[in-house]
Amino acid sequence: MTTRFRKILLELPPWILTGMTLAAILWLTLSPRPFGSLHTPFFPGADKLAHALMFGFLVAMMALDRTRKRNFIKLSPLYLICCAILSSLLGVAIEYLQEALHTGRTFEYIDMVADSCGAFASAFIWLLLQPKDIE
C-alpha cells in the first residue's frame, strides 16, 4: 500500500467506511425503489449475487476501518468471524424489516443465505490476503 494512500486512510474519521457502507445497504435493501423506475434483470439470481457482494463489502469495510485505526495491524480470525456474524445478522434483520415495513420488498430466506455467504467469504478472503507481517 502506498504511503500516500495509507495517509489518506488514516485521516478519515473512525468507522466512516463502515458507516457509509451500512447506509448504502440500508437504502438499497429497505427503500421501495432505490433505483426509481430502472429495472434491469441481468441474469437469474443476480439479486443473490448483489446480496453476497453487499454484505461481503460490509465485512471488508469493518476490517479496513479496524486495521487502519490500529496502524494497519493484522486482524485475528476471531475478529473477522465476528464481523461476518454481525454482517449476517444484519442481513437477517433487514429481511424481517422488509416484511414488517410493507414497502413492496419481499422476505426471502435465500437472501439471508446469500448475505451470510458473502460475509463469510469476505472474512476468509481478508484472512488469506492480509500480509503475514505488517510494518
More confident residue, 134 or 20: 20
Region 4-16: what's the mean pLDDT?
A: 85
| pTM, full prediction | 0.88
Q: Which residue is listed with cell 490500529? A: 70
**Residue 135: predicted pLDDT:** 45
Inform me whether the pLDDT recorded for 75 exceeds 50. yes
Say which residues have a Cβ less than 8 Å from residue 120's Cβ, sequence separation at least 6.
84, 88
What are the C-alpha distances in Å from 131 to residues 3, 82, 121, 128? 16, 20, 18, 8
When mean pLDDT is compared across 13-17, 87-91, 116-120, the lowest value belongs to 13-17
As a whole number, the mean pLDDT across the chain is: 89
**Residue 10: predicted pLDDT:** 82
